[in-house]
Amino acid sequence: MESTKLAPRDKPKLGIIGWRGMVGSVLLERMKCEADFNYFQTTFYSSSQAGSAAPAIDDNTGKNAGNLLSNPTIGDAYDYSDLSKLDIILTTQGGSYSEKVLPKLRHMGWQGYWIDAASTFRMHPNTKIVLDPINRADLLTAISQGIKTFAGANCSTATLLLGLAGLFQASLIETLSFMSYQSISGAGAQAMKELIAQHDYISKNQSAHAHHTHSAIEQEKNLTQALHDENFPKTSLSVPLATNILPWIDSDLGTGSSREELKTMDETNKILSIAAHKRIPIDGTCVRVGVLRSHSFGCTIRLRKNLAIAEIEQIIAGAHPWVKLIPNTKEATLRHLTPIACAKTLDIHVGRLRKTRIDAYTINAFVIADQLLWGAAEPLRRMLHLILERYAHEPTLFNNENALIKK
């Protein structure tokens, strides 16, 4: 995705907050890779490292040498006067920061663009959920209409919707039931480190018993005992995830469902701008698995039409360039339809596509994508370019002297 380059004085002022976390670090690498910093006057902000040296950002294309940041030092993430001078704020800092800062900036009269990875304002009426290429046209329209708050989708919503985009866009899905297999990186850096520590603990335990443990059943017994050790690392996860699965993600809604499960239906229908009386019923069970990166989904989909598998494959594969259809064979599935095959790539793999024995309208599919990319970082950086695209046609979109318009 490429934007028209602007003269330095015309480049919008961008502030980035939360770049050191899991999502933020992936976003930063993507922006470096795509030379995104060429298009902005960028300042990094932090709640704890204000005044420190900002990370060096060079154009990796070699076209421009030197640091591309407009400010060599890190700004204060709670300096409202400084923040109010920005045209765009992109934050992956988390919901508590967003909840505190955005309302105050708006109350001050700030008219800039807020792009947020957190769920805090995601379902607000005046917030658009960003998932280009799925709702690219809607996002451009929203910018034209003066919408200034944009939020990334939940990671599971985004990856599932991108995989099945063709069926959704053709209005072919009547209902969708899914089982998610969500990687630990979706729970954050500390949780991922703890899973690695759990495996390390198990490995050391097995090594300690290696000389006098001969049978598999004895090894299993020792391992199971280790999982219940008082010192077994489970501060973040509260229970072992290594050699285990956790069929509950996010808070308890008191309805039998978790918040993660509700998000998928609510956000999908909002992203697709589906009217309340025409909402697509979507439900499932979200499960945390001991995978480091990439979310997977086993889907049972009831279609509105009885279509041949070949036609369904064509619709799915033609949705956008990142969908990769995996043949429904054992060899192709085991080689390409795995979290490892998708990790650190923008490819979204869809496979195990077949008719079910339920009826002619119901199909099965399996979807996998790197949730740190498409489920978090990539839609945010693409939203930056949509704002630039609109700016190229409407130069007055930004007030480059100060994005704060006094009341």
Catalytic positions are: 155, 295
CA 51, CA 57: separation in Å to the nearest integer?
A: 17
DSSP string, 188-234: -HHHHHHHHHHHHHHHHHHHHTTTT--SHHHHHHHHHHHHT-TTS--
Dig out the tokens for 195 from the structure: 């899973």
Dig out the tokens for 85 from the structure: 């001078």
Dig out the tokens for 301 from the structure: 């989909």
Dig out the tokens for 20 from the structure: 């050191």
User: How far from the centroid of its chain's Cα atoms is residue 381's Cα?
Assistant: 11
CA 401, CA 393: separation in Å to the nearest integer?
A: 19
Q: What are phi and psi of 116, to 5 degrees?
A: -130, 135
CA 140, CA 271: separation in Å to the nearest integer?
A: 13
CA 156, CA 375: separation in Å to the nearest integer?
A: 7
CA 120, CA 98: separation in Å to the nearest integer?
A: 7
Beta-carbon contacts of 28 under 8 Å, excluding residues fewer than 6 positions away, are 16, 19, 55
Provide the terminal-to-terminal Cα distance of the chain, rounded to the nearest Å: 36
CA 269, CA 176: separation in Å to the nearest integer?
A: 12
Residue 12: DSSP 8-state? P
CA 179, CA 323: separation in Å to the nearest integer?
A: 20
Residue with the two structure tokens 């979290």: 339
What are residue 288's DSSP bridge partners? 182, 246
Which helix H or strand E contains 287, and what residues bound it? strand 282-289
CA 35, CA 64: separation in Å to the nearest integer?
A: 10
